[in-house]
Amino acid sequence: MLKQVSIYAENVKGKMLEITSVLADENINILGSVTNDSAEYGIVRMVVSNPEKACKVLKEHSIICKLTDVLAVEVKDEVGNLNRLLKALDDANINVNYLYLSYNRESGCPIMVLHTDDAREVENSLKSKGFSLC
């Protein structure tokens, strides 16, 4: 299981630059991210090299954030593999709240980062079905 940094950012010019600058200044690598926006605020979700430190330094810069448990499932870059993962989750009656793509630098395979209501239970379910979790 991974810790994701969930950042609540005002939808204004330069906010993403501010966030990435804070992380870069602290030598924190962004391994995967997704941004969902609305008229006034957005949610930036990131898997980073040091989530606890990232959350701490972002808060020191008055950027609202929290840590969230997510799962990272390695999927080979082949047609239908995301569908196979989602089918396994559906068969186990598991809802995926959101997902986004990252990359396993060690294996060279894509990773689907996903959030569910009970990450521990889902982790066990996926492992029992033969999926590789990071």
Same domain assignment for residues 27 and 45: yes
- pLDDT at 41 (0 to 100): 86
- Same domain for 7 and 63, yes or no, is yes
Structural domain including 101 reads 70-133
CATH number at residue 115: 3.30.2130.10
Tell me how many domains the chain contains. 2
CB count in 10 Å sphere of residue 46: 25
Distance (Å, whole) CA 68 – CA 71: 10
Same domain, 37 and 80: no
* Per-residue model confidence (pLDDT) at position 62: 95
Which of 39, 68, 97 is at the close of a domain?
68
Q: Out of 12, 42, 68, pick the residue that ends a domain.
A: 68
Angle at alpha carbon of residue 10, lines to 36 and 37, rounded to 5°: 15
What's residue 71's pLDDT?
Answer: 93
pLDDT at 77: 84
Nearest-10 crossing angle of helices 119-128, 81-91: 110
Answer yes or no: do 14 and 42 share one domain. yes
pLDDT digit of tens for each residue in the chain (134 aa)?
899 999 999 888 999 999 999 999 999 999 999 998 777 888 999 999 999 999 999 999 999 999 999 999 998 888 998 999 999 999 989 999 999 988 887 777 889 999 999 888 898 889 998 998 88
